[in-house]
A and B are shown apart, each in its own frame.
Chain A
Amino acid sequence: MAITHEGPAPADRPQSTSSIWNDARFRGNVAQIVVVAVVALVLGAMVWNAQENLSNQRIASGFGFLNQTAGFGLNQTLIPYSESSSYGRALLVAILNTLLVAVVGIVFATILGFLVGVGRLSKNWMVRKVCTVYVEVTRNLPLLFHILFWYLAVLAAMPAARNSYSIFGEVFLNNRGVYIPRIVFGEGSLVGFIALAIAVVGVVVLNKWATVRREKTGQQFPAFWTSVALLIGLPLVGFALVGFPLTIETPVLKGFNFVGGSRLLPEFAALVVALSIYTGGFIAEIVRAGINAVSYGQSEAAASLGLKSGLSTRLVVIPQAMRVMIPPLTSQYLNLTKNSSLAAFIGYPELVQVFAGTTLNQTGQAIEIIAITMGCYLVISLATSLFMNWYNRRVALIER
């Protein structure tokens, strides 16, 4: 022991307090505690004041309304819902509708963005210019304009139900949306679905095996085409075994409208198209920046290895570009999800329209409803960015 104490123990030393204040970590902790306490106090005061004001104005509060009967109808429900369902159920329907638009929009926007982003770097003058015009036009118009344009333009151009555009008498297009035939699965369809599940597992295993084999022997296996064949073939065999219990339900004009088949709401279609095209413009720029960030030497190196240009893009350039692209891509995905709330202007039943709109007005419980709505968007956004961060870590440059 090299340290020896002189005089009283440290706790009794008069200057020990000042030495504690000199400790940066201690000061940091105190500062944090103070900040948390102040925030908690302010929040508490806000809640208390809000409650006081609400009870003074005799406005009902609390979350009990979620169990009350909603009484209004919704035209797109992914889960069973009727006018006698509760406000809580309506909230669930609205969240699912928001998620549906977000997921479909993100998929389309990503595909579109990648194509256009790569197109902007194309050697073909025509392709390059078309992509540039697309990016400039979409990014410089407000999103609400996009949505209204697609909704009103699509609506105005479409005929009424009685004289719909028809494609082979199976698919119908009118101002109520797109009607397509629906496959009805009869008895015994389970076998087909099991076959599909087996195919999915098979594809995963096959791809793992193909990778391992390539790394060991250097031999390529046509894993992609084999996977496609498996995914289509196995379920077909499964359904054939039980004698194809599938019937196709074609939409038929009955009364005012088509009955049967599946239907895409024009509000949904307009929203997805507008969100995909708008966000696609931003994603295209991210993709272009990502590809430009990969040094040209990498392409030259790939070429010197004898990789064809398609392969070198796919295996050398894009994986490196991904590292640059993912963080800004995440923001675009979050933007798209949040922007879906503009659907309120065209009457698509999503979270803001149904919950922060109709439900708020029917119940008048503004504070609770705004809090719930904010919470929902927060959870969706956090989940998206968690997933993207996880993916980002996976593709991040691992330096050895």
Chain B
Amino acid sequence: MKKILTALALSASAVFASGAADAATLDQVKQKGFLQCGVSTGLPGFSNPDAKGEWTGLDVDLCRAVAAAIFDDPSKVRFSPLTAKDRFTALQSGEVDILSRNSTWTLSRDATQGLNFTATNYYDGQGFLVRKSLGVKSAMELNGASVCTQSGTTTELNVADFFRSNNLQYEVVAFQGQEETLKAYESGRCEVFTSDQSQLYALRLKLADKDEHVILPELISKEPLATAVRQGDDQWFDIVKWVHYGMLNAEEAGITSQNVKEMLTSPNPDIKRMLGAEGNFGEQIGLSKDWLARIVGKVGNYGEAFDRSVGKGSPLQIERGKNALWSKGGLQYGPPIR
């Protein structure tokens, strides 16, 4: 019922709203005095409230970085927890300014949902979580299995493709929320829990007997998890995109939250441009000159955010892998700031 109500409210807002996309999002955000950021309903490592109720994670850090760039204050963000089902409508209807919620960048979403994906925050792929006691070593042994998944996700489509193309029988049980899906898997309703691999690592931590579960080696899809904004506001699109690229460039140049003060006096022209000592690059996208210094000083560079949220400094212990910088063999590549 809640779902219907949300959808109804959203369609109603589409009916009555007077073109939210037309107005400049940056001005609206400045006027409100905070950034409204759509995140997941709770996914360790990406967006999860901690013991004090503060949201933390890689997706959260991107929103904090945008807030730091605009307000010089990473706490000027309000978070809207969204289910997979409600996320795009929430962005379309103007309920949130940024959707930073482990959403896969696909063509049809980009083309028909009225949104633009800015940049890939995390390169992921879909995997399978099973109980060790099943003795399954590969996804190809899953013939006849029940698979729990979240409804309305690319996951749901990929798993159908995977079993179909490998001629394997399966039964899908789709739930609207992550909690329900995990509970159904834990109670034995399905042998397999399928989701993006990073989510499997994160959700495994929530299981009572987490060492009894393994993640199978196969990755059955590409899941570039990207941040999205509404279509039709190019300036806002640029800001969100370049906040991510700025964090990547900062990491590449070795600017961290620890050394950003000393770096301000660096003789390196590249670093000078980034930190606003030379040129007016921040102003070109509607921010301040020292936009990146603000971001790195308050939130850190991409590598710092990664390690703190999902990498070495977190319980998830995920390797950088494909999310390493391009210069270190990964896929994360920030276009030059000049």
Contacts and interface: CB of A to CB of B under 8 A. Distances in A.
Interface of A: 46, 49-50, 52-54, 56-60, 71-75, 83-84, 152, 155-156, 158, 160, 175-176, 254-257, 259, 266-267, 341-342, 344-347, 349, 352-353, 356-358, 360-364, 366-367, 369-370, 373
Contacts of A362: 152, 157
Contacts of B85: 357, 360-361
A161 B279 CA distance: 67
B174 A358 contact: yes
A266 B183 CA distance: 14
A347 B22 CA distance: 38
A58 B231 contact: yes
Contact of A367 (B11, B114, B189): B11
Contacts of B174: 72, 347, 349, 353, 358
Given A357-B152, A366-B7, A59 B172 contact: no
Nearest to A156: B187
A259 B145 CA distance: 12
23 contacts: A53-B14, A53-B15, A53-B17, A57-B20, A59-B14, A59-B112, A59-B114, A60-B112, A73-B156, A74-B172, A75-B172, A158-B188, A176-B189, A257-B145, A267-B173, A357-B3, A357-B176, A360-B7, A360-B85, A361-B84, A361-B85, A366-B10, A366-B92
Task: Report whether over half of chain B's contact residues are helix, strand or loop; otherwise say mixed.
Answer: mixed
A175 B109 contact: no
Nearest to A61: B112
Contacts of A158: 188
A185 B81 CA distance: 52
A255 B92 contact: no
B175 interface: yes
B191 interface: yes
A324 B4 CA distance: 34
A346 to B, nearest CB: 7
Interface string B114-139: 10000000000000000000100000
Interface string B133-174: 010000000111110000111001101110110000011111
A71 B20 CA distance: 32
B156 A347 contact: no
B321 interface: no
Contacts of B188: 155, 158, 160, 175
B113 A364 contact: yes
A56 B21 contact: yes
A65 to B, nearest CB: 9
